[in-house]
Amino acid sequence: MSGPRPIVIAGNWKMHTTPADAGELARTIAHRIAEPDVVRVICPPYVCLAPVRDALAGTGIAVGAQNIHHELAGAYTGEVSAPMLAGLATWVILGHSERRRDAGETDELIARKLGRALEVGLRPILCVGEQLVERDTGQAAAVVEDQLRGALTGHEPEDLVRGGLVIAYEPVWAIGTGRNATGADAAVMADSIRGTLHELGLPEHGETVPVLYGGSCTAANIGEFMNEASIDGALDGGASLKPDEMAGIVGRAGVTARARRGGGAFREAASR
């Protein structure tokens, strides 16, 4: 690998905030997470993209969308296509477990959305993760591998790397439940994910692709994940709406970013 992978902290606001209050929340958070060593992304609802974009101008914090349609245009009432986000967002979340559950999104559909994102230059955060029953029956790695293959097969490996692919491992049983995987659990899955990327032919065996952890991640437990060499940040839900939580998460991520850049030990970074 030519250099350390970037540390990414992305906040998914889900169906929270309105255009009237999103900008002020974004400004408050921006003041608290002025950490240039960390790639920071805020993903508000569609209707809040413009005020959040304006609030974050000049801060170095990127704006992401939470979803896109799998077609570039057409008769799809209520949908938003990738080209419509021009000037509003530069990142996009794809395949979130709530989209898979609530909208019935399949790996094939997510693969099409990934293609649309790459075509227009949106940097994708591709979410993968298993249900509790799948983990308890020893199927977690196989489920995640199938999701990855389903979403990535058909895309040129070089295009995925050039498009800045990021993978977010979000064990579904740890989302919004207060229960989270351990750092060791997440690290094992991150290694498995990169093994699949290697098999799919990504340059440098997929080692340049950041893998994030998502699932009840907080300022109190972020260190456990950042202490693992294979974990490169977090995709946060509820915590991303709380300035104090985001400050703690991004601050701890910055410690890891500097340690990795300087070749420092990850375990030592956790105690600082």
Q: Phi first, then psi: what are they for 187, rounded to 5°?
A: -65, -40
β-pair partners for 243: none
Q: Is the pLDDT of residue 165 over 90?
A: yes
pLDDT in tens, 130-155: 999 999 999 999 999 999 999 999 99
Q: Is the pLDDT of residue 268 over 50?
A: no
What global pTM score does this model have?
Answer: 0.95
| Buried/exposed 52-68: b ≥16 CB within 10 Å, e otherwise | bbebbeebebbbbbbbb
pLDDT in tens, 186-201: 999 999 999 999 999 9
- Other C-beta atoms within 10 Å of 86: how many? 11
pLDDT score of 2: 59
Asked if residue 169 lies in contact with residue 190, where contact means CB atoms within 8 angstroms, the answer is yes
CA–CA separation, 260 vs 215, rounded Å?
A: 24
pLDDT in tens, 209-256: 999 999 889 999 999 999 999 999 999 999 999 999 999 999 999 999
pLDDT score of 265: 42
* Beta strand ranges found along the chain (DSSP E): 8-12, 39-43, 62-65, 91-94, 123-128, 166-169, 211-213, 233-236
Catalytic residue numbers? 96, 170
* Beta strand ranges found along 119-260 (DSSP E): 123-128, 166-169, 211-213, 233-236
> Could you give the domains of the chain?
8-270 (3.20.20.70)
Asked if residue 235 lies in contact with residue 10, where contact means CB atoms within 8 angstroms, the answer is yes
Q: Which residue has the higher pLDDT, 16 or 181?
A: 16
pLDDT score of 215: 86
CA–CA separation, 218 vs 230, rounded Å?
A: 19
